[in-house]
Structure 1
Amino acid sequence: MGVVLSIEENAPERGIEPLVALVRADMELVNQTILSRSSSDVSMIPEVANHLISSGGKRLRPMLTLAASGLCGYRGQGHVKLAAAVEFMHTATLLHDDVVDESDMRRGKLAARMVWGNEASVLVGDFLLGQAFKMMVEVGSLPCLEVLSTAAAVIAEGEVMQLSAAKDTETSEDDYLAVIRAKTAALFGAAAEVGPLLADRPKAEIAACRGFGVNLGVAFQLIDDALDYGGASAKLGKNVGDDFREGKITLPIVLAFRRGGPEQREFWKRALERGEIQDGDLEAAIAILRKHRALEDTIERARHYGAMARDALELFPTSPWKTALSGAVDFCVDRAF
Structure 2
Amino acid sequence: MDGVAETKVKAPHDRLAEWLAEDMAAVNALIRARMASKHAPRIPEVTAHLVEAGGKRLRPMLTLAAARLLGYQGSDHQKLAATVEFIHTATLLHDDVVDESQRRRGRPTANLLWDNKSSVLVGDYLFARSFQLMVETGSLRVLDILANASATIAEGEVLQLTAAQDLATDEAIYLQVVRGKTAALFSAATESGAVISGAMDSQVKALYDYGDALGIAFQIVDDILDYGGQDAVIGKNIGDDFRERKLTLPVIKAVAKADAEERAFWIRTIEKGDQREGDLEQAMAILARHGAIAAARDEALAWAERARQAMSSLPDHPLRQMLDDLAGYVVARVL
Quick check: TM above 0.5? yes
Displacement, 1:328? 1.2
Q: Which residue of 2 aligns with 1:233?
A: 231
Structure 1 residue 32 displacement after superposition: 1.0
Which aligned pairs between 1:174-189 and structure 2 lie closer than 5 A?
174-189=172-187
- Quick check: 2:80–2:193 contact (8 Å CA) kept in 1? no
One-letter identity of the residue aligned with 2:186: F
Secondary structure in structure 1 of the residue aligned to 2:302: helix
Say whether residues 1:49 and 2:23 are aligned partners: no
The 5 A counterparts of 1:1-337 are 15-41=12-38, 42-335=40-333
Letter in 2 for 1:28: A
Q: Quick check: 2:69–2:315 contact (8 Å CA) kept in 1?
A: no
- Determine helix, strand or coil for the equivalent of 2:111: helix
**Normalising by structure 1, what TM-score?**
0.95
Counterpart of 2:3 in structure 1 is none
Q: 1:14 to 1:330 in 2, by over 3 A?
A: farther
Shift of 1:13: 8.6
8 Å CA contact 1:13–1:324 kept in 2: the answer is no
In structure 1, stretches of 5+ residues that fail to align are 1-8
CA-CA distance at 1:128 after TM superposition: 0.4
Q: How many angstroms apart in 2 are the aligned matches of 1:39 and 1:326?
A: 36
Question: Per the alignment, in what secondary structure is the counterpart of residue 16 of structure 1?
Answer: helix
How many residues are matched?
329
- For normalisation by structure 2, the TM-score amounts to 0.95
For 1:290-316, what per-residue CA distance to the aligned partner results, in whole angstroms no more than 9, with x for missing partners?
111111111110110110100010011
Deviations 1:76-109 (A, max 9, x none): 0000010000000000000001111111111111
Which ranges of 4 or more aligned residues in structure 1 deviate by more than 3 Å? 9-15
Q: Shift of the alpha carbon at 1:69?
A: 0.5
Q: Cα deviations across residues 115-158 of structure 1 (Å, max 9, x unaligned)?
A: 11111100000000111110111111111111001100111111
Q: Do the aligned partners of 1:190 and 1:213 also contact (CA within 8 Å) in 2?
A: yes
Contact 2:224 2:334 in 1 (8 A): no
Mapped contact 1:68–1:195 kept (Cα < 8 A): yes
CA contact (8 A) 1:13 1:323 kept: no
8 Å contact 1:216–1:306 — kept in the other structure? yes
Gaps in structure 2 of 5+ consecutive residues: 1-5
User: Bigger relative contact order, structure 1 or 2, given CA contacts below 8 A and separation 6+?
Assistant: 1
Task: After TM superposition, give the deviation of residue 330 of structure 1 in Å.
Answer: 1.8
Cα pair 2:13 2:58 within 8 Å, conserved: no
Name the SS for the 1:229 alignment partner: coil
Distance (whole Å) between structure 2 residues aligned to residue 66 and residue 310 of structure 1:
18
Cα displacement string for residues 162-206 of structure 1 (whole angstroms, at most 9, x for unaligned residues): 111131122101111111111111110000001121111111000
Q: Compared with structure 1, are the counterparts of its residues 330 and 109 closer, same or farther at alpha carbon in structure 2 (3 Å cutoff)?
A: same
**1:36 is matched by which residue type in structure 2?**
A
1:101 & 1:174 partners in 2: Cα distance?
Answer: 23
Q: Give the alignment's Cα RMSD to 1 decimal.
A: 1.5
Distance 1:131 1:23 in 2: 23
Asked if the contact 2:70–2:315 (Cα under 8 Å) also holds between the matched residues in 1, the reply is: no
